[in-house]
Every structure is written in C-alpha cells, then in structure tokens.
Amino acid sequence: MQAFQSALSILAFSFASAMPAAIADESFYDVPPPGRLIDLGGYRLHIHCQGMGSPTVVLDAGLGDWSTHWTAVQNLLKADTRVCSYDRAGYGWSDPGPRPRDSQRIVAELHSLLEKASVEPPYVLVGHSFGGLNMRLFASTYVGEVAGLVLVEASHPESLPYQRNEAGTAPSTSPANQLMMVYPVEPEVLPVPPEAQQAINDNLLRTKSRVTSRGEYRALGHSVLELQRSRPFGDLPLTVLSRGKREWPYGADGDLKEKSWQLQQMELARLSNLSHYVVATNSGHHIHIDQPDLVAGAVLDMISEERRESASLLR
C-alpha cells in the first residue's frame, strides 16, 4: 500500500511539473472573451457585465465551473439591472492567480476586480456550490456593500469533501487530493444557450481549468475555517435554493447523504433573520442550468424589495 501511495505521489508530481507550459498557452480559447480582462497586478481576471441598474448582481460559479455557466441566468436578468459574471483566477478567460486558492484570496480578488472594473455597490451576490461558500464570506467581509445573498445549492461546510490534518486545521495533501482534476475531461452536454456551449467545451479540454479545480479543492479546509470565523448575517436578505432531484445513488449510504444535504440546505436558510428557502423541484445540483428562470426570479424578487426600501428612505 505504501509503495502504491508513493507511486501516486510521484505521478502527481510529474503532472504538476508538466503543467506550467500548458497554463502559459496563449491560444487558450477559440472563443473570444465576452467581457473585459482586468489587471489585478500581474494577472488578469475576466468580468462580463450586462444591463443597467442598481443593485448590481454578481455571479460566482461552483468548483470547476465559470462565467459561461451563468449565461441563461444572466440573459434573464440583464433587462432589469446590471449583472456581472466573472471567471475566478485560472478558469475561463482569467489568468491563473497566486496560491493558495482559498476563499479568502478569492473574495479579496473579486472585491478588487469589482473596484478596478468600476462596478459599484450595492451588490446582490449569487453563488452556486463552492461559489456559494465564497459569496457567504464576501457578504460577511464587506457588510456595507451587500444588499442581498442568493445561495444556489451552496456548499455547506460539513458537506465538503476535504480532509483535515491531524490537528484539524488544514487540508491534507493525500495522493487522492494530489491527483484531483488532472485526468482528461469529456465535453459536457448541457442545456445552455448556444453561445455558451463552445466556450464550456473548450475550457474543459484545457489543463488550466483542471489545475485550478485541484487547487481550490485542496484549499477547501482553509476556506471552511475562514468561513467559520466570519460574522453572522443578521437581517441581510437571503434566499436558499435547494435541488428537488436526487443526486446521490440509491441505497442506504446514498439515502443518508441525500438527507444530510437537504438538512444542511435548510440550515443555510437560518443564517439570516430575513431568509427564504425554495426547493427547485425540477433541478439537480445545477439549478441555474436546469431552471434558470427560478434563479432569476429569486434574484429579481430580492432586487425589487431592495428598490422599494431604497425609495421609501428617500421620501
């Protein structure tokens, strides 16, 4: 067993050693970026903003996903307000960023990106899966800039597949984690708008996104600890969208995991005194792809309430 683990570690090191050349490939995309590339000091992040109005909606995708996965939701929102999707460092059209790729760094980068791109608060934050964890940390870090939070099948700290070290303070670097996301990936067939499909497939076939996914995965332990130190939401408007379709395999173990996930989603709804919990009956984990109208509707409801409150304060 020890010899097998050593072989895996050597294999992982070999993959890592070969990756910089792939990451530096300038011909990353056949699809031009729909938005802008903003320099954060040695590396650029891609942000795509459409529409006009306040508050601005900011979208953060799950681990392994990027701005293109929000295309349908963004199309539904852009007529009513300003909406911005972006690619975390190392995904889509964004350059790789400094490590570790934990939520604290990701949130700081997003805040700097919004400032440099002149995207002013207030923000309604929308996060899917791991992106939900990031948006929770953003909302608790930049309290005065956030008007609301929508969590779309957001990761709960107890649901994340990370491993801690013996002290319980950091993720381990097991052979399984070392090899995370370095295997070839087949193109996805998703019910997304045509303009999104080619970009999604192009990105999946590039080494850069797989390396980035592995880096975020390995930093999950740190991300959870950062979130646990964050402040509570109080009366911040919060909507939690939870899937209605089963994701775990059938059987005793799958039944337990499915029940735990649903209970954890309900627990997320208790993070604020002003929260709504919505089950997306016809969706799996990617609610924003399966039922984009439901996600957009939840966001628009929050925006309408924010605008009513703002108008009443001006009277």
243 in any annotated domain = yes
Average pLDDT, the chain: 82
State residue 248's pLDDT score.
83
The more confident residue out of 225 and 242 is: 242
Count of domains for the chain: 1
270 in any annotated domain = yes
Q: How confident is the model at residue 22 (pLDDT cuts 50, 70, 90)?
A: very low
The CATH number of the domain holding residue 272 is 3.40.50.1820
State the average pLDDT over residues 300-309: 94
State residue 21's pLDDT score.
31
Is residue 40 scored above 60 in pLDDT? Answer: yes
Show the domain range for 50. 34-158+217-314
What are the pLDDT digits (tens) for 228-251? 888 889 999 999 999 999 988 899
Q: Please identify which residue in the block is written with the tokens 């700290």.
A: 157
193 in any annotated domain = no
Is residue 110 scored above 90 in pLDDT? Answer: yes
Is residue 209 scored above 70 in pLDDT? Answer: yes
pTM of structure = 0.83
Q: How far apart are CA 308 and CA 147, in angstroms?
A: 12
Show the tokens assigned to 315. 């009277």
The answer to whether 265 and 153 have CB atoms below 8 angstroms apart is: yes
101 in any annotated domain = yes
Show the tokens assigned to 25. 């490939």
24 in any annotated domain = no
231 in any annotated domain = yes
200 in any annotated domain = no
Residue 151 CA from chain centroid, whole number = 10
6 in any annotated domain = no
Q: How confident is the model at residue 315 (pLDDT cuts 50, 70, 90)?
A: low
Is residue 290 scored above 80 in pLDDT? Answer: yes
Residue 89 has φ and ψ, to the nearest 5°, of -50, 125
Contact residues for 217 (Cβ-Cβ < 8 A; gap 6+) = 63, 161, 162, 177, 180, 181
The more confident residue out of 277 and 170 is: 277
Closest C-alpha to 68, from 154, 210, 216, 188:
188
Beta strands in 133-262 (DSSP E): 146-152, 238-243
What are the pLDDT digits (tens) for 141-163? 999 999 999 999 999 988 765 54
Q: How far apart are CA 210 and CA 12, in angstroms?
A: 13
Show the tokens assigned to 7. 């072989």
